[in-house]
Amino acid sequence: MKRPTVALTTLGCKVNQFESASFISAFEEAGCDLVPFSGPADIYVINTCAVTGRAGQQSRQMVRRAMRANPEARIVVTGCYAQVAGEALLEITDNPITIIGNGNKDRLVETALADNPPDLVMLTGDIGRKKEICHLPVQRFSGRTRCYLRIQDGCNNFCSYCIVPYSRGRSRSLPIEQVREQTRTFIKEGYREMVITGINVGKYGLDLDEKQTIYTLLDGLCSDFPELRIRLSSVEPTEVNEQLLDIMAGHANFMPHLHIPLQSGDDHTLARMNRRYTAEIFVRTIERVVSRFPHAAIGCDVLAGFPGEDDTAAENTHRLLAGLPVSYLHVFPYSRRPGTLAASFPDQIHGRVKDERVRRLRELDSAKRLQFYQSHVGSSQRVLVERRNRKTGLLQGFSENYIPIQFAGPGRLIHRVVQVRIEEIEDGQPRAILEDDA
């Protein structure tokens, strides 16, 4: 009997990547063969994103691509775009389609493999009423070096520009024993680094009766799994406190790397965004981190072209970031998302103005990265080797403080942590020599 073939593609965030890895594990356990999305398959799964207008467009494109690749295939669409725009998906296809919302992702595989399904299956429901996180265990990711662990889903913040509270619901946490069980699975599978991820990880545990917080969780994981490098994906400025920094200082396996979203450096814009801090609070947060960890990597999200952001507000953001010791920026143009408060604001920013602000901030990002890399020339770094770069032929991986490093060495070092010394920055990329292969 022919084994069913499944093609899967994932758009968007690390949480989606974790959830797709769970689908893959379950499909494999059910006896399916995973095949490239670009080719023919019996089942296509599109794990969509809706955080920007472009992400929604890409989600629709993936559905159309699957229909062209095999008009007879079963198409399963899930993720944030499926949750908030299910009707729009129905408009682009006459083919049988299964739409599964974020609150029902634990039912995706059994639904996709069901015998004789109806032409239309919609399992979306009211995501805002979901009280528990979907249990989506993962056996493995595509590599054996770094894995993601989704500990939390949903968000209660309702920033005025953001669709996520409507597409993923309220904050829900994974029970601590399931967190630990998944961690043990990853270690058994040979992973050396785990990224703790979620939609708003700082709210972990507040919906459970386990007396756990993000801080107790991180402290416990670092203590109980010392062989595993642990990295935190993103944390709100108001959640970066002395308790978090003490955990980072107290555990060698908690990587000195924080990603702290700013969004705007202008107080009026922050208030209109419904962000719960001021530019001054953000500055003090960054200074507190750097005073204790001068070599830590600090990344920031920044949103350009928010409605009502005039030239002064845009300059306030650029000036604030230029003066801060941050290591890199993730720059996004504001995208009008129907259903959010900001979508109704009358003072939307013209595309050309927005594009110019994005360009300036991305130039600043390049300068920040280069400055951070140059400050580490001559230093020794412990690098988790991930792969051999196809273009340069060098081994590559990330240092503890998230510097991408390439160096010459034997292939047996892949998936191992080695000591290197950064010698130079070549074409904007750090190059190093191997000090040992421990």
What would be the CATH architecture of the domain defined by 380-436? Beta Barrel (2.40)
- Show the tokens assigned to 197: 């991820």
- Show the tokens assigned to 56: 């929604």
For 122-158, write each residue's pLDDT tens digit: 888 889 889 999 999 999 888 779 999 999 999 999 9
Residue ranges per domain, the chain? 5-125, 129-255, 256-375, 380-436
Query: Which residues contact residue 124 at a Cβ distance below 8 angstroms, ignoring those fewer than 6 apart?
Result: 82, 83, 86, 99, 100, 101, 103, 104
Q: What is residue 118's predicted lDDT score, i.e. its pLDDT?
A: 76
Q: What are phi and psi of 76, to 5 degrees?
A: -120, 120
Contact 115, 85 (CB under 8 A): no
CATH of domain 5-125: 3.40.50.12160
Whose CA is closest to 228, among 241, 218, 236, 214?
Answer: 218
- Show the tokens assigned to 231: 């990295």
C-alpha distance from residue 192 to each of 95, 181, 385 (Å): 43, 16, 10
C-alpha distance from residue 408 to each of 378, 433, 437 (Å): 17, 7, 12
CATH of domain 129-255: 3.30.750.210
Domains 129-255 and 256-375 alike in fold = yes
The percent of the chain in helix, strand and coil, each rounded to the nearest 5, is 40, 25, 40
How many angstroms from the chain centroid is the CA of residue 82?
Answer: 18
Contact 104, 132 (CB under 8 A): no
Residues in the chain, overall count = 438
Query: Which residues contact residue 49 at a Cβ distance below 8 angstroms, ignoring those fewer than 6 apart?
Result: 11, 12, 13, 16, 55, 56, 58, 59, 79, 80, 81
Q: What is residue 54's predicted lDDT score, i.e. its pLDDT?
A: 87
Q: What is residue 98's predicted lDDT score, i.e. its pLDDT?
A: 92
Contact 233, 198 (CB under 8 A): yes
Q: What is the rounded end-to-end Cα distance, in angstroms, of the chain? A: 48
Which segments in the chain show pLDDT lower than 70? 1, 437-438
CA 237 – CA 286 distance, rounded (Å): 8
Q: What are phi and psi of 131, to 5 degrees?
A: -105, -20
Whose CA is closest to 140, among 258, 27, 46, 299?
Answer: 27
Q: How many CB atoms lie within 10 A of CB 183?
A: 20
Query: Which residues contact residue 310 at a Cβ distance below 8 angstroms, ignoring those fewer than 6 apart?
Result: none
Q: What is residue 1's predicted lDDT score, i.e. its pLDDT?
A: 65
Burial pattern 335-374, b for ≥16 Cβ within 10 A else e, equals: bebeebbbeeeeebbeeeebeebbebbeebbeebbeebbe
Query: Which residues contact residue 391 at a Cβ distance below 8 angstroms, ignoring those fewer than 6 apart?
Result: none
**Beta-sheet strands, E only, within 36-131:** 43-48, 74-79, 97-100, 120-123
- Show the tokens assigned to 84: 């908030």
Domain 256-375 CATH assignment equals 1.25.40.10: no
List, in sequence order, every residue forming a beta bridge with 402; answer none if it has no partner: none
Q: What is residue 93's predicted lDDT score, i.e. its pLDDT?
A: 80
